Chain A
Amino acid sequence: MDSEIILILVIGMALAFDFTNGFHDTANVVATSISTGAARPSVAIGFAAILNFVGAFISISVAATVAKDVVDAEIITPTIVFAGLIGAIAWNLITWYFGLPSSSSHALIGGVVGSAVAAVGFDAVITEGLVGKVLIPAVVAPILAFLVAGAAIGLSYRVVGKQRPGIVTRGYQYGQILSGGLLALAHGTNDAQKTMGIITLALIANGSLGADADPPFWVIASAATAIALGTYSGGWRIIKTTGTRIIKMDAAQGFSAQGAGATVILASTHFGFPLSTTHVINGGIMGSGAAKRLSAVRWGVAGNIFVAWLLTLPAAAAIGGLTYGFTRIFGTGALGPVLVTLMALSLVVAAFARRAQRGAPVTAAGG
């Protein structure tokens, strides 16, 4: 009975995490299309939500990495997964509260690794998978998006440089419907799969699935629905803050940035690399900006992303580990996770209420 309660808490927490991931990342996915006038906010957000949903069904490679290649699924328990999720959600809330641009994907993996180490020791961590499939791609992917977007926009300016600006702008605005759609599809593909992977890991840990099992259809469908609903809900808030938060760029730059982000995320997803989609999209935006004018890039933002990237894995791991330790005070049953859930819900409500009182806009951690 206790293990069923913990499993239900894990699934609920994972889907809530997925919802917030979509909520936070709406800005990354639609901002470029809106800022260049390629799409109306309502259209861009609705389109992104639908393609996030569709994208979640395209592949399960990333889910397999999260479920099987980061920690040893055979010695993990549902409580370890639960504590890891709490570590990720807590770090996301902390960074959201202070406006740090952190990655929810790295927080999720950091949280699970931290709680696994606290529970079982370093034997629970699959170093090869963690370094080879998470840490190295995490460094390579944003740099790759930066270089691809920079080269692509340089080439584009050479091709269309002598054409009338009107047709060029209109052409790339139409193109951004395509590139923005691909980016939303890529985002849904990579980010929704992390939730699928975590729920699958919990199901394996609970003995409900075999060690080599793929995510069941209901897991894929529920993760797809949660991220799509989050994207749609987050969008309405973004409409209000669009004017102040988006970097101004022309339609060709927007097309290059989105195209570079989408191709890097889709190619990485194909090989099962769980990326920070936020970092990749920002890499693409900075690359297309730097190719035109180096000073156009907000290097301070790049520095914040780098610092947040360095902090996220260890911080989420520490919170995940502490959460596991706290749950063990109450034994191995469901009491610890239930108490932690109640405390987490109270903190979330308090944080939102305090933030709303201060009237600050939603700035976010991202995927």
Chain B
Amino acid sequence: MIATIVHTDELLQTIAASVVAGIGVTFAFSVGIWGAGQFIELSRNERPVAATAALAMGGLALACVAASIVIGIIVMTSK
């Protein structure tokens, strides 16, 4: 009875999507900020290679944020 009333699959997918997107996007955005901070810090210390690597990592993380938002909206609108 309970099993037929509870939309277990949909509920679990909602939980999984919220956890992955909510935590993942915040984590990736934080890595983006970390990359920008490290780039400024390492550039000041005249370490251009490390600074560029940090900037690239931050940029990649921000690209992941943008991609996940676009994918999310495509999934929402495609149903």
| Minimum Cβ distance to chain B for residue A169 (Å) | 10
Determine if A267 is an interface residue (Cβ-Cβ < 8 Å).
Answer: yes
How many A-B contacts at CB < 8 Å in the complex?
A: 130
Give the CA-CA distance A153 to B29 in the complex, in Å: 11
Residue pair B26, A270 in contact (C-beta under 8 Å)? no
Please indicate the chain A residues that have their CB under 8 angstroms from the CB of B14 in the complex.
Answer: 137, 140-141, 144, 264, 267-268, 270-271, 273
Please indicate the chain A residues that have their CB under 8 angstroms from the CB of B40 in the complex.
Answer: 164, 167
**A144 touches which one: B18, B72, B79 (CB < 8 A)?**
B18
Quick one: closest B residue to A284, CB to CB? B22
Contact-residue bracket for chain B: 35 or more
Give the CA-CA distance A271 to B9 in the complex, in Å: 10
Contact-residue bracket for chain A: 35 or more
Determine if A136 is an interface residue (Cβ-Cβ < 8 Å).
Answer: yes
Instruction: Tell me whether A140 and B26 are in contact in the complex, defined as CB-CB below 8 angstroms, given that A59-B79, A266-B72 are known contacts.
Output: no
| Minimum Cβ distance to chain A for residue B68 (Å) | 10
Residue pair B31, A159 in contact (C-beta under 8 Å)? yes
Residue pair A148, B4 in contact (C-beta under 8 Å)? no
Determine if A346 is an interface residue (Cβ-Cβ < 8 Å).
Answer: no
Interface segment out of the listed A94-102, A124-132, A351-359:
A124-132
| Minimum Cβ distance to chain A for residue B38 (Å) | 8
Residue pair B15, A132 in contact (C-beta under 8 Å)? no
Give the CA-CA distance A252 to B27 in the complex, in Å: 11
Residue pair A160, B30 in contact (C-beta under 8 Å)? yes
Please indicate the chain B residues that have their CB under 8 angstroms from the CB of A175 in the complex.
Answer: 29, 33
Residue pair A140, B11 in contact (C-beta under 8 Å)? yes
**A137 touches which one: B11, B31, B37 (CB < 8 A)?**
B11
Give the CA-CA distance A58 to B78 in the complex, in Å: 9
- A interface residue numbers (CB < 8 A to B): 58-59, 61, 127-128, 131-133, 136-137, 140-141, 144-145, 147-149, 151-153, 155-156, 159-160, 163-164, 167-168, 171-172, 175, 178, 182, 189, 252, 255-256, 259-260, 263-264, 266-273
Q: A152-B26, A271-B14 known; 18 other A-B pairs, CB under 8 Å?
A: A59-B77, A132-B5, A148-B19, A152-B23, A159-B33, A164-B37, A171-B37, A175-B33, A178-B69, A256-B26, A260-B18, A266-B21, A267-B17, A267-B18, A270-B75, A270-B76, A271-B7, A273-B10
